[in-house]
Structure 1
Amino acid sequence: MSAPLRVAVACSGGRDSMALLLATVRAARALGAPGVASPGEAAATIEVWALHVHHGLSDWADDWAQHVEQSCRAWAARGWPVRSMVRRVTVEASSPHGLEAAARHARYEALTEMAHGLHIDLVLLGHHRQDQAETVLLQALRGGSLAGLAAMPTRRDREGIAWVRPWLNQPRCRIEVYGRLHGLTHVDDDSNSDPRFARNRLRTQVWPALTAAFPQGEQALADTADRLADAQSVVQAWASSVLPADEGVPWALSGWLTWPAALRRQSLLHWLVREAGVSPTTGQLRRLVEEIPQLMASRTAGHWPELKLRLYRGVLSVERTVHEAWPPNPMGHWRWAEQGMTGAGWWRFAQTAGVWEVQAVASGGVSSEILAALRPRARQGGERWQAAPGRPARSLKKQFQAAGVPAWMRDAPLLWMGDALVLVPGLGVDARWLAPPGQAQWQVMWRALAPEMHDTSPGQSDNA
Structure 2
Amino acid sequence: MKPALPARLLQTLAPWRNAPAWHIAFSGGLDSTVLLHLLATLAKSETLPPLNAIHVHHGLQAVADAWPIHCQSVCDSLGVPLRVMRVQVQSGASLERAAREARYQAFTEVTGVGEVVLTGQHRDDQAETLLFRLLRGAGVRGLAAMPAHRPLAGGYLARPLLDVSRAELEAYASDHQLKWIDDPSNADPRFSRNYLRHRVIPTLTERWPQAVSNLARTAEHLSEAQALLGELACMDLHAADQPSAFPWLVLPSLDLGPLRELSDARQRNALRHWLTPLTRLPDSDHWASWFSLRDAKADAQPLWRLADGELHRCGERIWWLPSTWSDFSDASVSWSLPQNPLVLPGNGRLEFIGKAPDGPLEVRYRRGGEMLEVPGRGRRDLKRLLNESGLPGFVRGRLPLLYQGEQLLGVPSLAGLWPVASDSWQLHWMPQTCDQGLS
TM-score range, shorter chain: 0.7 to 0.9
Q: 1:372 to 1:17 in 2, by over 3 A?
A: farther
Q: Runs of 5+ in structure 2 lacking a partner?
A: 1-18, 244-249, 329-333, 421-427, 434-439
Which of 274, 281, 285 is 2:287 aligned to?
A: 285
**1:101: which partner in 2?**
97
Given that residues 141 and 223 in structure 2 are in contact (C-alpha distance below 8 angstroms), is that contact kept between their aligned partners in structure 1?
A: yes
- Between the two proteins, the alignment pairs up a number of residues equal to 385
Distance 1:319 1:13, change over 3 A: same
**Structure 1 segments unaligned to the other structure (5+ residues):** 32-43, 77-81, 327-335, 359-365, 434-441, 448-464
1:147 aligns with 2:141: yes
Distance 1:213 1:295, change over 3 A: same
Letter in 2 for 1:21: L
CA contact (8 A) 1:342 1:371 kept: no
Tell me the CA shift for residue 232 of structure 1. 2.5
Amino acid at match of 1:376: V
Q: 2:412 aligns with which of 404, 414, 423?
A: 423
Q: 1:357 aligned to 2:381?
A: no
Q: 2:107 aligns with which of 101, 105, 111?
A: 111
Q: Over the residues paired in the alignment, what is the CA RMSD in angstroms? A: 3.8
TM-score (norm 2): 0.74
List per-residue Cα deviations over 1:125-180 (Å, max 9, x = no partner): 10111111111111221222432222211111221222111111111111111111
Partner residue in 1 for 2:155: 161
Distance 1:250 1:385 in 2: 30
Which whole-Å CA distance do the structure 2 matches of 1:146 and 1:225 have between them? 9
Deviation for aligned residue 1:415: 4.9
**Structure 2 letter corresponding to 1:84:** L
Q: Distance in 2 between matches of 1:5 and 1:342?
A: 42
Decide which of 160, 163, 170 is 1:176's aligned counterpart. 170
Q: Distance in 2 between matches of 1:212 and 1:233?
A: 33
Distance 2:170 2:68 in 1: 21
**Inter-partner Cα distance in structure 2 for 1:13 and 1:211:** 28
Distance in 2 (CA, whole Å) between partners of 1:25 and 1:249 is 44
Q: Map of 1:376-415 to 2, 5 A cutoff?
A: 376-379=363-366, 381-383=370-372, 396-415=382-401
The answer to which of 397-406 and 265-274 deviates more is 397-406
Q: Secondary structure of 1:87's partner?
A: strand
Cα distance, 1:338 vs. partner?
A: 6.2
Q: Residue 28 of structure 1 aligns to which amino acid in structure 2?
A: A
Aligned amino acid, residue 224 of structure 2: D
Query: Structure 2 vs 1, CA of residues 324 and 278 (structure 1 numbering), >3 Å: closer, same or farther?
Result: farther
The residue aligned with 1:237 is 231
Q: Which amino acid aligns with 2:58?
A: H
Classify 1:391/1:178 alpha carbon distance in 2 versus 1 (closer, same or farther; 3 Å). Answer: farther
Take 2:44 and 2:171, find their aligned partners in 1: how far apart are those partners? 21
Q: Give the match for residue 444 of structure 1.
A: 430
Question: Partner of 2:264 in structure 1?
Answer: 261
Q: CA-to-partner distance for each residue in 1:176-205, whole Å, 9 max, x for gaps?
A: 111111011101011101122111111111
Q: TM-score, normalised by structure 1?
A: 0.71
| One-letter identity of the residue aligned with 2:192 | A
**Structure 1 residues 63 and 283: CA distance shift in structure 2, 3 A:** same
Does 1:322 pair with 2:324?
Answer: yes
> What is the CA distance between 1:220 and its match in structure 2?
2.5
* Residues 12-91 of structure 1 mapped to structure 2, 5 A cutoff: 12-31=27-46, 44=47, 47-76=50-79, 82-91=80-89
Q: Give the Cα separation in 2 of the matches to 1:55 and 1:136.
A: 25
Name the CA shift for 1:316/1:122 in 2 (closer, same or farther; >3 Å): closer
Is the contact made by 1:9 and 1:123 (CA closer than 8 Å) also made in structure 2? yes
> Take 1:137 and 1:391, find their aligned partners in 2: how far apart are those partners?
67
Q: Tell me, what secondary structure is at the counterpart of 1:423?
A: coil
State how far apart, in whole Å, the 2-side matches of 1:341 and 1:218 are.
66
Contact 1:100–1:197 (8 Å) recurs in 2: yes
Tell me if the contact between 1:133 and 1:222 (Cα under 8 Å) persists in the aligned partners.
yes
Per-residue deviation at 1:395?
5.3
